[in-house]
Copies of this chain bind each other. A is one copy, B any other.
Amino acid sequence: MVKLGRIEYKPIPVRDLLVEIKDLSELMIDLAYSAALFNSKALAEEVLELEEHVDTLAYLLDMNVMIAVRDAEDAERLVGVSAVASAADKISDAAADIAAIVLLDIGLHPIIREAFKKVEERLTCTKVKSNSILIGQKMGDLELAAKIGVDIIAIRREMEWIINPNEDKMLNEGDTLFARGAPLGVKELEGLAEGNIRKLENS
């Protein structure tokens, strides 16, 4: 993740900024749904922080695009890039709106739960128990995406959050995993975390 302080121009490749804005905004939608479905205010707070981060990235992208553009032709070539960044920024705002509902402390209305039903099947929140084979394994070695079609989108480790954990991150006993994927893969991950499934096979 590109690290940022206050918003001042930094020369960062537009490509890197766009990929990060795009990926973060998608991730944020699933994190916001997870915060709502699993009633996690702490996760909702993380989504609001990510939204600020995306805003900053979007400003930086605009600044870098402006500097890159020298003539009308450049401008025509790059206007689409700005538009995609702004669309992704809108999606991250929408995720923050959903997260904000969780913080309102009004509970999830049955109508909202109904609307989230399809989403619910492909999201999970599961704790790594003491006899789980996931303990001590690196994310990159597990290859959950390739093997069971599941991405771990966040890990809650005591008071710490690891959002979008990278390949080197190792899983610990007691970690709470937030994940998304195909409904069958999601069930498999739950079994692996709970220690009921003892082997991770290619599906």
In the bound assembly, the distance between CA atoms of A25 and B203 in angstroms comes to: 31
Q: Tell me which of A73-81, A129-137, A159-167, A171-179 binds B.
A: A73-81
Please state if A111 and B203 are interface contacts (CB–CB under 8 Å). no
Distance in Å from the Cβ of A149 to the closest Cβ of chain B? 5
Contacts of A80 in B (CB 8 A): 101, 104, 106, 108-109, 112
Whether A90 touches B97, Cβ cut-off 8 Å, given contacts A114-B19, A116-B22, is yes
Which of B88, B93, B95, B100 makes the CB contact (< 8 A) with A83?
B100
Whether A18 touches B111, Cβ cut-off 8 Å, given contacts A76-B106, A80-B104, is yes
A182: Cβ under 8 A from any B Cβ: yes
A139: Cβ under 8 A from any B Cβ: no
Please state if A101 and B115 are interface contacts (CB–CB under 8 Å). no
Query: Which residues in A have some Cβ–Cβ distance to B below 8 Å?
Result: 14-15, 18-19, 21-23, 29, 76-81, 83-84, 86-88, 90-91, 93-95, 97-98, 100-101, 104, 106, 108-109, 111-112, 114-116, 118, 149, 182, 203
In the bound assembly, the distance between CA atoms of A29 and B22 in angstroms comes to: 12
In the bound assembly, the distance between CA atoms of A15 and B106 in angstroms comes to: 18
Quick one: closest B residue to A22, CB to CB? B115
Contacts of A83 in B (CB 8 A): 97-98, 100-101
Distance in Å from the Cβ of A164 to the closest Cβ of chain B? 12
* Of listed A18, A19, A91, residue having the most chain B CB within 10 A: A91
Please state if B114 and A182 are interface contacts (CB–CB under 8 Å). no
Quick one: closest B residue to A25, CB to CB? B94
In the bound assembly, the distance between CA atoms of A157 and B90 in angstroms comes to: 32
